[in-house]
Structure 1
């Protein structure tokens, strides 16, 4: 992915974070954690760079930013076997590569921590 992709994603993340900070009357944001699936299409290092850019001069300046990566898991729709990892989405029942994606594609703001206005 290009850095522009992550900048666009971070803009959306910041819109969510700042909106929720206002709703909860936060005067500063100290930590932000997002969850990104292994195949969500984002690069954590590029998100870190984008975070630093957007955090400047905002409530989140100086905040800790973390990305929790979620591995790919799926379930064979024929036999129900749990499949783990991108390369392991073929079931042992050999009935074909038909599976239900369970995790690995998500991308969302998980937690925002900050200090409230008094």
Structure 2
């Protein structure tokens, strides 16, 4: 299996947007708790939860991508593919896998959930 990589400058721009969104959410949590000491404690817990989810997500994506490495050499895997949307933003697909059987968009989740799709369903 071949692995494709995104442009480093595009990755940096996307990560900057993500960090901005996390900062805004942290500030919102802080404000919702009235600022002050309680707001600061809430913001710390929010940041810890974000960090924990990021670690769990990275581990899940890495584990799955290692499993998929056994696919034939004519298959291609694109990790964390940044794809433009109609609103001219970017969205990230955890794994984009392309091979003889088609193109597969894989989104790895850290929680207990399930989701499946087939064609347009």
Name the TM tier (shorter chain): 0.3 to 0.5
Q: Which has the higher contact order (CA 8 A, sep 6+)?
A: 1
The alignment's TM-score, normalised by the length of structure 1, stands at: 0.34
The alignment's TM-score, normalised by the length of structure 2, stands at: 0.34
